[in-house]
Amino acid sequence: MKRLSVNIDHVATLRQARGENEPDPVTAALIAELAGAVGIVSHLREDRRHIQDGDVYLLRKVLKTKLDLEMAATDEIVEIALDVVPDLVTLVPERREELTTEGGLDVVSQFKRMKTVTEKFHSKGILVSLFIAPEKEQIAAAKNAGADFVELHTGEYANAKGSAVEHQLDRLKRAARDARALGLGINAGHGLNYRNLKPVAKIEEIEEFSIGQSIIAHAVFVGLERAVKEMIDILREAGN
């Protein structure tokens, strides 16, 4: 069965809205683990709009599954990540004015930087995933840069309407096959929710999904444990 990692950033978004200490994203992470998540994802952004440095260190200490630290490959955040030593780093592009990570990394044009940063993480035993559009050139570049995983960006699939949905699904299927052929681990995420997850979950090669917004939004009404379990149920229904 496919695995679910839960992104808990938006619990911190709510906390930061008041500058208080609740709700606590670390508590959310522990509940998500108990509900069946195989990992916790958290994005330490340059502007620290949600997750703070202290959260990441605490997550590292208390998680029983794995910590996937999402981050831009900037010097400052790379230094912090090398100190935290997460199980996995997922490198993403980051623009200050964006509401969320908008596109995939252009590994082709930033090849040297990606390779250097990947080597730094490997020297500390940290696995590296590159968040990319489902495109063959990006997958090949990720492999050549030394990445262990790619995370296929599902945002365009999630935003597609009508016949474009099938087209985006085909792109993801092809990309997953290409990545598998190169021996990369394959994760996927962005914009996935209770309504659109199942077709992507049927793609055999994808091993794990990274989902945040929809789970935290649902949790406001039904509680986090149930929200995580309902998402895992969809993965179970999708089979393989």
Contacts with ligand PXP, residue ranges (CB under 6 A): 7, 9, 43, 70, 90, 92, 100-101, 131, 151, 189-192, 210-214
Give the shortest CB-91-to-ligand PXP separation in angstroms. 9
Beta-sheet strands, E only, within 18-108: 39-43, 67-71, 88-91
Catalytic pick among 43, 50, 153, 218:
43
- Does 156 qualify as catalytic in the annotation? no
Catalytic pick among 135, 190, 208, 218:
190
Give the shortest CB-77-to-ligand PXP separation in angstroms. 14
Number of Cβ within 10 Å of residue 67's Cβ equals 22
Give the shortest CB-85-to-ligand PXP separation in angstroms. 20
- Does 167 qualify as catalytic in the annotation? no
For ligand PXP, which is the closer residue by CB, 46 or 163?
A: 46
- Does 190 qualify as catalytic in the annotation? yes
For ligand PXP, which is the closer residue by CB, 7 or 65?
A: 7
The helix/strand/coil state of 150 is strand
Q: Is 174 exposed, middle or buried (0-12, 13-18, 19+ CB in 10 A)?
A: middle
Q: Distance of CA 181 to CAs 161, 174, 176, Å?
A: 30, 11, 9
Catalytic pick among 33, 50, 70, 151:
70
Residue with tokens 């490959």: 73
- In sequence order, what DSSP letters do the residues of 42-60 get, joined into one string? EE--TT-SS--HHHHHHHH
Asked if 67 and 60 touch (Cβ cutoff 8 Å), the reply is yes
Give the shortest CB-179-to-ligand PXP separation in angstroms. 15
Distance CA 144, CA 142 (A): 5
User: Which residue numbers are catalytic?
Assistant: 43, 70, 190
